[in-house]
Structure 1
Amino acid sequence: MKTAHIYSPGYALLAGLLLTASTGAQAVDNNLHFYGNLLSKSCTLVVDGANLAEIHFPTVSNRDLMVSGQSAHLPVVFKLKDCKGPAGYNVKVTLSGTEDSGQPGFLAVDDTSTAQGVGIGMETLDGKRVDINNTTGATFALTNGNNDINFRAWI
């Protein structure tokens, strides 16, 4: 299982997110899920069923990846509600999990996958890559009320 963490320095927002990824030989389908628990409450994580966010990568052939180098970037949104804090407070999101051995900073697909040379990359909407297992992560400003934490993922 892959994990990701969301926390807010100074305001003790901490969530454990679990990522699972699996792929087929030349396709990556329905393979990224986020799960979480809120450990200290500044905001409430919005969970849809058992997931914080879910994306479905379309089938991607090796040929497509060789031409463009990566798949289309798909939105990943973590929703927070009932956020309460002083003006200008932030949440820092870090991602951790099994790193792809051939692509540092990318999340590896499950060991059961027959796909090779494929990893899952994550970035903020402004294109800043957020590497797996890097404590730098990405920081997002929060406002009181509801907030969306927006990323994009690709293979």
Structure 2
Amino acid sequence: MKTAHIYSPGYALLAGLLLTASTGARAVDNNLHFYGNLLSKSCTLVVDGANLAEIHFPTVSNRDLMVAGQSAHLPVVFKLKDCKGPAGYNVKVTLTGTEDSGQPGFLAVDDTSTAQGVGIGMETLDGKRVDINNTTGATFALTNGNNDINFRAWIQAKSGRDVTIGDFTASLTATFEYI
């Protein structure tokens, strides 16, 4: 059986143009630049015992919590000392923990808690909510010396759910990124 090959000058021209186009591409030297700033130890985080902070909410009536929707806001202060850095440097604080499945952005109470139907909210002093497990976190300006990083925390009742009385605990991790 004979096979016929059809030769067309157009195909040769197309192949030649493609070959020429691919050999015409050249790498451009030094077209990606990296910049950064290395700091010495930025700040020392003040730790009291094994924890950064322990927040003790006052006793709240489940009825009051269901009516108001949330408790009073309590201060949460992270203390940084001996901060040293260039003018205009900041710290970004992100909060990670078990998120409440019924309240996105809120910290869930631990499984061992007898109180149910609540979560823990966190916000900055200007009222900007800082959601759990959100990489945006909250950014604070730092000055050389000592700095207080201020948040507020509150108990939030789950909408449409009964609040079961009892004790509760909840834990989160605060991460500090100097930027």
TM-score when normalising by structure 2: 0.63
CA distance in 1, matches of 2:11, 2:66: 44
Change (3 A) 1:27 1:94: farther
Higher strand share: 1
Structure 1 range deviating more: 94-103 or 27-36: 27-36
The CA deviation string for residues 18-68 of structure 1, in whole angstroms up to 9 with x for no partner, is 999999999999999999999983100011122212211011121011121
Q: Which has the higher helix share?
A: 2
Q: Which residue of 2 aligns with 1:136?
A: 136
Structure 1 window deviating more from structure 2 (36-45 vs 63-72): it is 36-45
- Change over 3 Å in CA distance of 1:77–1:18 after alignment to 2: farther
**Shift of the alpha carbon at 1:115?**
1.7
Could you say what secondary structure the match of 1:4 adopts? coil
Cα distance change on mapping 1:50 and 1:136 into 2, 3 Å: same
CA drift of 1:90 comes to 0.3
Whether contact under 8 Å (2:90, 2:139) holds in the other structure is yes
Q: Which residue of 2 aligns with 1:83?
A: 83
Distance in 2, Cα, partners of 1:125 & 1:134:
18
SS in 2 for 1:48: coil
Moved over 2 A (4+): 1-41
Give me the whole-angstrom Cα distance separating, in 1, the residues matched to 2:124 and 2:48.
Answer: 22
Identity level (%): 98
How far, CA to CA, are the matches of 2:2 and 2:152 in structure 1?
A: 17
CA contact (8 A) 2:43 2:81 kept: yes
C-alpha distance after superposition, 1:126-148 (max 9, x if no partner): 00000000011000000000000
- In the superposition, the TM-score normalised over structure 1's length comes to 0.72
Q: Which residues of structure 2 form unaligned runs of 5+?
A: 155-178
Q: Indicate the structure (1 or 2) with the bigger Cα radius of gyration.
A: 2
Unaligned runs of 5+ in 1: none
- RMSD value, Cα: 25.8
Partner Cα distance (1:28, 1:131) in 2:
44
Query: Within 2, Cα distance between the matches of 1:36 and 1:98?
Result: 33
Residue pair 2:39, 2:85 contacting (<8 A) in 1 also: no
